Structure 1
């Protein structure tokens, strides 16, 4: 982790500074490093990871994951979503495409692999979020009157999976990634770590598509039978993350001192109650106790979550001033999030606990085998890995956390998905939302202001598409069999 701080500090310092020797450095033919490609790689990795985490914390993408309830600006919590911008992903895809082209021009398989991993990750999130999107035709924005054609989700998924497969293979070749260690804030030039990320992402998206393409289970089994060819993220040391430096808003926790809406974003009741019911030792790490539990008018627990889509949320549980800790009778998020930099909260795009829960589901629900493991052992490893991640593993053992009736393995998909949901708190992207859409778990309560008692299936397309790309926009709606560009229409993967 310390090395990641050093590389990230160097990366950001370089972005903010300049050098009079840049041209000389960049044209040194004896140097295997292309400085332009190095800067691009650093920028794409940092910006993608930070931005997608920020979207999960404060954007609409995070709303259906139900970690957060808004106090005042709670329109999105009602699930009445308007057109949503996708620039958070496409802007970085443009830079990543430049990196991909540079890598291919230099015939550097390692840089090409990293660009393919980022490309697969971002396009995977985009199509999971919207459905059909511009894909093959996505990078012509410099052309006059550019109107991209939408690609079908099925074909996008085929390519996304190919990107991850190609990346793993490219990283087995001779390349120059070790020379780019100082430009790699995620893995410091560690080829094996990038291979683990490529294969873990591929398994994530194979699980997504398996209900539509059952042959994906055959591929999954082949991968799990050959760990040498397909290494995976199976320890917290392998987690794909970027630490928060906390020097300024752009590299600080999205819930830190630069966040003007910290008091507006509160731990949700369903999240807090799940942890309370299991006496979960992660609760005090993630959530702050209320100042005076006895002051509550409906809930006198030390930890109080805020219900979703509620009338008069500012005064819930007898609160008189939600921006003042002493006067608020529902909890805030904990110190690890409120500090601008804390080693227990990082921007993460994939972590080991997710892989264990995926494997547990595959073994329990789909007859997949994994050497030396059962669905139960993998489920427990998922929880224990999360406990270790948040430095409460010993406490969990001391208080016999795993022996509780609600925690002890019971063979249900609901239990696996719920523990996975908890462990993926604020992980970048929308994985827990997709899990809910494909399984129905966890079962979430709804509030009196919810427009319907159902989590949305997608986000509506950006409003600019209807205005400036109307023909392709309308065709995409018709191709998917929708009556309108609505957040309750189902994407291909969910039909």
Structure 2
């Protein structure tokens, strides 16, 4: 972890130096690296990881995952969502498209593979969040970018699945990725780790599309049968993440000192209660206890979560001043998140625990085979991997965490998805929202102020689309059979 943190510092400093000596470095016959392409790769990786985690912690996208309850700005908690920007993805996709153009022009197949992985990942999040989006013609001339037609979600999904497969194939061939190690802040030019990310993302999206196309299970089984050709992320050593440096606001925790209203975001009641009910050793890692439990008027537990969308949230549980720790009778997130940089909180694109929970669902529900491993074993390995990620595996073993009734495997999808939800805390892109939307699990309670007892299905399109791309925007709504751009309209994937 320390090595990765130090490496990222060096990589970012290297980017600055490269701009000062571009001609000298770019023409060095002993190091034939295209610094411009290397810079683009670094920029896409860093900004994607940080931006998506920030969206999942501080933005509206984090609300449906139900880890956080807002104290003051609870309009989002009631699901009264306004139009949402998609700049968090498209800004990075523009640089990524330049990376792909340069890689293909120079025949650099490894850089092309990384560009395909990042393009598939970002467009996957975009279409999962909004529905149909500009895709096929999204990167034309600058004057055309504002009036791009929307591609169908089905077509986008089929194409990004091809991206992941193509990337894995390209990375099996001889290439130059090792030359770019100093510009790769996530995997340091490790080809095998990039292949594992490509295949793990492939698995994630195949499972998601399987409810619309059962042939996806044939591809999934092929992947599971060929570990050498399709290696997966199965160890925390292979997690796709970036550490926070804590140097400036752009590379610090989204709940750190640069965040002026972190007191507004508190651990939710459903999240804290889930951990309390299971005596989960991750609870004290993630959540700070209240200063005086006896002062609580409705909840005297050491850890108290804030209910979603309730009247008088600032005064919940007898709180007199939610901005003051001593006067607040509901919990804050721990220093792991409030530190600008902490080795236990990183900007995660894909964690190993997710792979195990996906495999458990595939074996239990869809009756696929993963080397004869049972769904229960895969489920437990997912929890083990999460415990290890947060360095509490010994505490979990000592307290018999795995054998208690609420944790011991019961063979249900609900249990798999519940543990997957809590284990994937703040994974970028609201993956647990997409899982809930797909399966209905975990089952969440709703607040008195919620406009519906149902989590929204999507984000409304950015407001600029209705103004500057009106014809294509309106056509997209019509093509999807919607009456309007509501967050409760169902995209193709959910119909």
Superposition TM-score tier, normalisation by shorter sequence? over 0.9
Paired residue secondary structure (2:205): helix
Structure-2 separation of matches of 1:388 and 1:200 = 20
Aligned to 2:391: 391
Contact 2:64–2:456 (CA<8 Å) still a contact in 1? yes
In structure 2, relative to structure 1, the CA distance for the partners of 1:194 and 1:313 (3 Å cut) is same
In structure 2, relative to structure 1, the CA distance for the partners of 1:312 and 1:20 (3 Å cut) is closer
In structure 2, relative to structure 1, the CA distance for the partners of 1:490 and 1:2 (3 Å cut) is same
Paired residue secondary structure (2:321): coil
In structure 2, relative to structure 1, the CA distance for the partners of 1:141 and 1:128 (3 Å cut) is farther
Aligned to 1:170: 170
Contact 1:7–1:184 (CA<8 Å) still a contact in 2? no
Structure-2 separation of matches of 1:349 and 1:123 = 14
* Residue pairs, 1:211-226, within 5 angstroms: 211-226=211-226
Aligned to 1:323: 323
Displacement, 1:11? 2.3
* Residue pairs, 1:48-87, within 5 angstroms: 48-87=48-87
Paired residue secondary structure (2:451): coil
* Residue pairs, 1:248-259, within 5 angstroms: 248-259=248-259
Structure-2 separation of matches of 1:18 and 1:131 = 39
Structure-1 separation of matches of 2:487 and 2:168 = 35
Aligned to 1:11: 11
Paired residue secondary structure (2:332): coil
Paired residue secondary structure (1:143): helix
Contact 1:200–1:232 (CA<8 Å) still a contact in 2? yes
Displacement, 1:430? 1.6
Unaligned 5+ runs, structure 1: none
Displacement, 1:17? 4.9
Displacement, 1:31? 2.6
Structure-2 separation of matches of 1:79 and 1:225 = 42
Aligned to 1:493: 493
Aligned to 1:359: 359
Paired residue secondary structure (2:168): helix
Displacement, 1:140? 2.3
Structure-2 separation of matches of 1:15 and 1:111 = 17
* Residue pairs, 1:97-112, within 5 angstroms: 97-112=97-112
Query: How many residue pairs are counted as aligned between the two chains?
Result: 495
Contact 1:7–1:183 (CA<8 Å) still a contact in 2? no
Contact 2:138–2:145 (CA<8 Å) still a contact in 1? no
* Residue pairs, 1:187-336, within 5 angstroms: 187-336=187-336
Paired residue secondary structure (1:69): strand
Structure-2 separation of matches of 1:474 and 1:154 = 19
Displacement, 1:422? 0.2
Displacement, 1:80? 0.8
In structure 2, relative to structure 1, the CA distance for the partners of 1:36 and 1:279 (3 Å cut) is same
Aligned to 2:46: 46
Structure-1 separation of matches of 2:20 and 2:440 = 57
Contact 1:32–1:176 (CA<8 Å) still a contact in 2? no
Aligned to 1:160: 160
Cα RMSD for the two superposed structures: 1.1
Structure-2 separation of matches of 1:389 and 1:141 = 44
Unaligned 5+ runs, structure 2: none
Displacement, 1:29? 4.4
Paired residue secondary structure (1:76): coil
Q: Deviations over 1:331-353 (max 9, x none)?
A: 00011101111111110000000
Contact 2:110–2:177 (CA<8 Å) still a contact in 1? yes
Could you state the TM-score of these two structures normalised by the residue count of structure 2? 0.99
Contact 1:350–1:427 (CA<8 Å) still a contact in 2? yes
Displacement, 1:441? 0.5
Aligned to 1:426: 426
- 2:114 is the alignment partner of 1:114: yes
